[in-house]
Amino acid sequence: MTSSSHHRRTRIVATLGPASSSPEMILSLAQAGVNVFRLNFSHGAHEDHGERHAAIRAAEEKVGHPLAILADLQGPKLRVGVFENGPVVLEEGKPFRLDLDRTPGTISRVCLPHPEIISAAKPGSHLLLDDGKLKLRVVTVGEGFLETVVVIGGKLSERKGVNVPDVTLPIPALTEKDRRDFDFALSLGVDFVALSFVQRPEDVQEARDIADGRAAIVTKLEKPQAMENLEAIVRLSDAIMVARGDLGVELPPEEVPVAQKRAIAEARKQCRPVIVATQMLESMIESPTPTRAEVSDVSNAVYDGADAVMLSAESAAGKYPLEAVSMMVRIAERVEQDHEWRIRMDRLRPVPDETVQCAIVQAAWQVSRTLHAGVIASHTRGGGGAMRMARERPHCPIIALTPELDVARRLCIVWGTFPHVVDREQTAHGIEDLAGPAAELARSMNFCRAGDRVLVLAGLPYGHSGSTNTLRVVTA
């Protein structure tokens, strides 16, 4: 496979759905700039996801560079039961009971078929209903019921979602449905599996054990408890997603931007890719153009150095999936041309670890800047060398050369990195054997012109993960 000549640093994740499932549309989205395709297992049958997976792989062959596939698991969905006579209107200050009785609800009570919530709640705990539109405060905890008072009232329909922001619930992050979906996604050969509603580091470890290296684990940050355990959760994850929808329900709205910046900084510190997601261009579900506020939101994520920005319903079910991707590309490219963006990328560089690998990539960052290098070519077997280089946010793009197709696909989510699969015969043991072909490839991929400087990074002897120890400057 050859790589794209498109040099935008920020990666784009697009969700597939009814509006974007045809092979023709998937190919068009890939050509427009999508790097990672998301399969949302909250919707659609396994057969649907299998067909989309096949169409992505077919598009990958046509565009001529790796594309990654992310399977997003639904996670535990907590919902109230049904009502006897349709929706009810809860009035502020009035009592309302939640219990395990499956009898249809009334104006004064409804079934909450989740004993875990009832057992974990305490007087003073809050429950949010219907994406936070309604708010209840627990007054009394009884055997199989909660007596609450309505803090924020409104219409409540059956099967609306329940969020419990200030309680760690004793429920697993993986439901039985998730486990079936997880197995199916692994059987397809997806590159990433995303976990929903993670609360504890143990949730991530369980998924890692199931994946057993067959897919990288993306942890979605959408619970306050995950933010409280952020450092440990990031360490166990292969990538992070700031899922601002549910996070914005359980946190006060003004806390979400702070949480987003904190998550991006921690992920970059630990050399983990980070995706910013949810409602980024929401109005483009119905409109061919976004609001100015949405453009500013996407721009802000790019200025913060996020590895990727994500489209959800905009590309899955909206009227303008291709336009939404094109707009995301235009926003990212414009920000990346701004001098202030470059200053921020340099200023936010994390303190290096005291390792040979980090010292080499720090040196590569400085040398590439001093020599105005056209590209950094990183020979990487497991992807770690390229990811460490990307953490520095260098002034030139990174070509990640690897003999492993699955590694190349996983690098599709990494900032500024353009993965390219090389033949195993090209992975020689001396830097001289690697430098010339790397410079030639950089020219053929339009990353530089004849006479430009190319930096070559490798671990020698070649073939050992995590062994980057050599930097060579060559002329293209």
The CATH architecture to which 88-163 belongs is Beta Barrel (2.40)
When pLDDT is averaged across residues 143-164 and rounded to a whole number, the result is 96
Between 325 and 440, name the one with better pLDDT.
325
Q: Where does the pLDDT of residue 429 fall: very low under 50, low under 70, confident under 90, or very high at 90 and above? A: low
The alpha carbon of residue 199 and the mean position of all alpha carbons in its chain are separated, in whole angstroms, by 17
- Is 278 designated active site? yes
Amino acid 175 reads T
Q: Which entry of 8, 9, 11, 38 is annotated as an active-site residue? A: 38
From the list 203, 196, 265, the residue with the least C-alpha distance to 233 is 203
Biggest distance spanned by C-alpha atoms of the chain: 78
Q: Which fold has domain 11-76+172-339?
A: TIM Barrel (3.20.20)
The answer on pLDDT for 6 being more than 60 is no
Confidence of residue 371 (pLDDT cuts 50, 70, 90): very high
> Can you give the residue ranges of every domain in the chain?
11-76+172-339, 88-163, 349-475
Out of 10, 15, 148, 278, the active site residue is 278
Per-residue HEC secondary structure of the chain comes to: CCCCCCCCCCEEEEEECCCCCCHHHHHHHHHHCCCEEEEECCCCCHHHHHHHHHHHHHHHHHHCCCCEEEEECCCCCCECCCECCCCEEECCCCEEEEECCCCCECCCEEECCCHHHHHHCCCCCEEEECCCCEEEEEEEEECCEEEEEEEECEEECCCCEEECCCCCCCCCCCCHHHHHHHHHHHHHCCCEEEECCCCCHHHHHHHHHHHCCCCEEEEEECCHHHHHCHHHHHHHCCEEEEEHHHHHHHCCHHHHHHHHHHHHHHHHHCCCCEEEECCCCHHHHCCCCCCHHHHHHHHHHHHCCCCEEEECHHHHCCCCHHHHHHHHHHHHHHHHCCHHHHHHHHHCCCCCCCCHHHHHHHHHHHHHHHCCCCEEEEECCCCHHHHHHHHCCCCCCEEEEECCHHHHHHHHHCCCEEEEECCHHHCCCCHHHHHHHHHHHHHHCCCCCCCCEEEEEECCCCCCCCCCCEEEEEEC
CA gap 146, 150 in Å, rounded: 12
What's the CATH number for 349-475?
Answer: 3.40.1380.20
Q: Are strands 453-458 and 470-475 parallel, antiparallel or unpaired?
A: antiparallel
Q: Work out the average pLDDT over 49-64.
A: 98
- What pTM was computed for the model? 0.93
User: Does pLDDT of 1 surpass 50?
Assistant: no
Please write the tens of the pLDDT for every residue from 286-309: 999 999 999 999 999 999 999 999
* Annotated catalytic residue, options 109, 200, 220, 453: 220
| Mean pLDDT, rounded, for 372-386 | 93
Q: Would you call the peptide bond into 95 cis, given omega within 30 degrees of 0 as the criterion?
A: no
Return the ∠ at Cα 64 (arms to 373 and 319), rounded to 5°: 105
464 pLDDT tier (thresholds 50, 70, 90): low
Beta sheet of 453-458, edge-to-edge order: 417-421, 398-402, 375-379, 453-458, 470-475
Average pLDDT of the residues in 419-435:
72
Mean pLDDT score of the chain: 93
The two structure tokens encoding residue 229 = 């355990």
457: confidence class by pLDDT, cuts 50, 70, 90: very high
Question: Is residue 160 annotated as part of the catalytic site, yes or no?
Answer: no
Both tokens of 254, joined, read: 């003004």
pLDDT of amino acid 382: 92
Confidence (pLDDT) at 428 = 53
| Distance separating alpha carbons of residues 376 and 368, to the nearest angstrom | 8
pLDDT of residue 451: 87
Q: Which residue has the higher pLDDT, 95 or 439?
A: 95
Is the pLDDT higher at 7 or at 40?
40
CA distances (Å), 60 to each of 34, 186, 261, 402, in order? 11, 19, 33, 17
Checking if the pLDDT of 182 tops 80, the result is yes
Taking the C-alpha atoms of residue 385 and residue 379, their distance in angstroms, rounded to an integer, is 8
Is the per-residue pLDDT at 5 higher than 50? Answer: no
How would you classify residue 154: left for phi > 0, otherwise alpha for psi between -120 and 50, otherwise beta? left
**Among 79, 133, 214, 349, which one carries the catalytic annotation?**
79
Burial class (CB within 10 angstroms; exposed 0-12, middle 13-18, buried 19+) of 177: middle
Question: What pLDDT does 438 receive?
Answer: 83
pLDDT value, residue 448: 87
Structure tokens at 451: 């006479």
Per the annotation, the verdict on 220 as an active-site residue is yes
- pLDDT given for residue 466 in this prediction: 61
- Is there a shared CATH topology between the 88-163 domain and the 349-475 domain? no
Mean pLDDT to the nearest integer, 161-172 = 90
CB-CB contact of 324 with 314 (8 Å): yes
Structure-model confidence comparison of residues 1 and 191, the more confident one: 191
